[in-house]
Chains A and B, each alone.
Chain A
Amino acid sequence: MAVRIRNRRQSDRMTSARNDAGPRKLASDLSRRRYGDVRELIASPENPTPLVRLNRVLAPAEGYLKLEWFNPFGSVKDRTARALLEGLRARGALDGRELVEPTSGNTGIALAALAALDGLRLTVTIPSGVPEEKLVLLRMLGATVMPTPDELCPVDNPRDGAIALAHAVAESPAHAGRYVMPNQYANPDNVRAHYETTGPEIWEQTEGRVRTFVAGFGTCGTITGVGRFLKERDSSIRIVAVEPQRGHRLPGLKNLQESKPPTILDRSVIDDVIHVPDEPAYAMAKRLFREEALIVGPSTGAIVQAMRELDGETHGLTVGISPDGGQKYASFYRDILGEEGMAP
C-alpha cells in the first residue's frame, strides 16, 4: 500500500539524516508507541484508530464507534490530508506552490499541520458556522483563513461559497499558477485514503464480522472508500449514509440537496440514506458524553442517532465513524446547552 510504504521511507530518510548529524537515535517502534515523527501517528492498518463498543445508547444492538479523533491532528481528515499531499507530491504539483483548500476545519487543520512540516503555505476558505476554536487552531498552525459568508455566492449554491472561493483563489489569472488546490471533494486520493486504511482497519478490527457501516455525507471520501472496500470483501454488508437536514448546523456534514454532490461520491456502494435533523443529533451527542463518556463532535451525534434508527437485530454488528472529538466545539456546545448545567 502506497500510503504505508511512503511513510516508512520518509521516516527512514529523516532518521538517517539525524544519524548523520549526531549520535544514533532510537528507531520508530509502533509496539512501544514510539514515533520518529508525528506523521507516523496517522492511522494505518498497523496503527489503527480505536474501535469502541457502545454499551448504553445502542443496547441491545452490537454497535461500535471508530474514534477518528485518536489521529494526531484530531480527526478522520488526517488520513485524507496525508493522501492528498502524497498524491500532489507524486504528480509534482506541489513544487513552489501554495495550497488553498475549502474546508469546514478538520481537513484544514490536518493540511496545515502537514504543510508546516513540509514548509508549505496554506490558505483555507471556511463556511459560516465553523466554531472559533477551529479557526484559531488553523491560525496557530500558520495557515491563512478566509471565513466565507453563506451569501457570498447568491447566484449558485449558497452553501458552497467556501468551495467557490477556493476555486477562485486557485484559478484566478492574476494568481498565475501560484496556488494548487488538493480539492478533497473531487480528488480520488481522498477515497483511496479510506479504501487503503479505514476500510481494512474496520474489517480487521471486527474480524470480518461487520454487517453494517455508517458514515456521513461530507466530502464523501469515507463513505465511498470504506463502502467500496467492504463491498468487495462481502457485497451483503450494508453501507448507510447519514444526511443532515437543509439549513443544518452540523459541521462537516452536507445535505446533498442544498450542496453540490461531491464528484468522488459513488452512490453504487450506498444501500440506505438516513436523514437526521439537528436536534436529535445534538441530543445524541449529549447522551454520548454522559452515558458513554465519549467526548465527541456534533457529527458523531448524527451518525450514532442513525445507528439507533437501524434495527440492530437485522443489521448485525454495526460500525459508525466518529469523525472528530468534542474539544474543538466548546463555543458550539455552549449555544446548544443554553443555561443547562449552570448552577441556579
Chain B
Amino acid sequence: MTAPQTLDCKGLLCPLPVYKASQALNRLQPGQLLRVECTDPGSLADFPALARQRGDTLVSATEQGDVQVFVLKKGSE
C-alpha cells in the first residue's frame, strides 16, 4: 500500500483544515487514505464530524506535540 497523501494545514484556523480536507477527499478514490496535519485545537471536534457527515472513516486521530494528525479513509460512492 502506498503512503497516504498528506495535507499540511499547520497554522490554518478552523474551518479551513476541514474545507481543504473535504476538497482533497473529493479527489480521492474510495478506500484511499488522506493524512492531515493541523494545529488548530478545534480540529479535534471537526474531523470526526466531517468524516461522519461525508460517510468517510476517521482511521486515527493522534497528537504529536502541538500537531494533531488525522488519517481519513474515503468511503464508497
Contact = CB atoms under 8 A, between A and B. Distances in A.
Given A152-B19, A154-B53, A168 B46 contact: no
Contacts of B53: 151, 154
B59 to A, nearest CB: 20
A137 interface: no
Contacts of A172: 11-13, 16
A171 B53 CA distance: 26
B42 interface: yes
Interface in B11-27: 11-16, 18-19, 22
A168 B42 CA distance: 12
B12 A174 contact: yes
A154 B12 CA distance: 18
B46 A155 contact: yes
Interface in A162-188: 164-165, 167-169, 171-175
Contacts of B13: 167-168, 171-173
B11 A164 contact: no
A168 to B, nearest CB: 4
B12 A165 contact: no
A148 interface: yes
B49 interface: yes
B19 A165 contact: yes
Contacts of A161: 15
Contacts of B46: 154-155
A172 B49 CA distance: 21
Contacts of B45: 155
Interface residues of B, number: 15
Best-surrounded residue of A149, A164, A171, A172 (most CB of chain B within 10 A): A172
Interface string A256-272: 00000000000000000
A168 B49 contact: no
A154 B47 CA distance: 10
Nearest to A161: B15
A154 B13 CA distance: 15
A152 B46 CA distance: 8
Contacts of A171: 13
Contact of B49 (A146, A154, A173, A174): A154
A168 B12 contact: yes
Contacts of B15: 152-153, 161, 164-165, 168
Contacts of A175: 11-12
B25 to A, nearest CB: 12
The 8 A-B residue pairs with the shortest CB-CB distance in the complex, in nearest-first order: A174-B11, A168-B16, A168-B13, A173-B11, A154-B49, A172-B12, A172-B13, A151-B53
20 contacts: A146-B19, A148-B19, A151-B49, A151-B53, A154-B49, A154-B53, A161-B15, A164-B14, A165-B19, A167-B13, A168-B14, A168-B19, A171-B13, A172-B11, A172-B12, A172-B16, A173-B13, A174-B12, A175-B11, A175-B12
Interface of A: 146, 148-149, 151-155, 161, 164-165, 167-169, 171-175
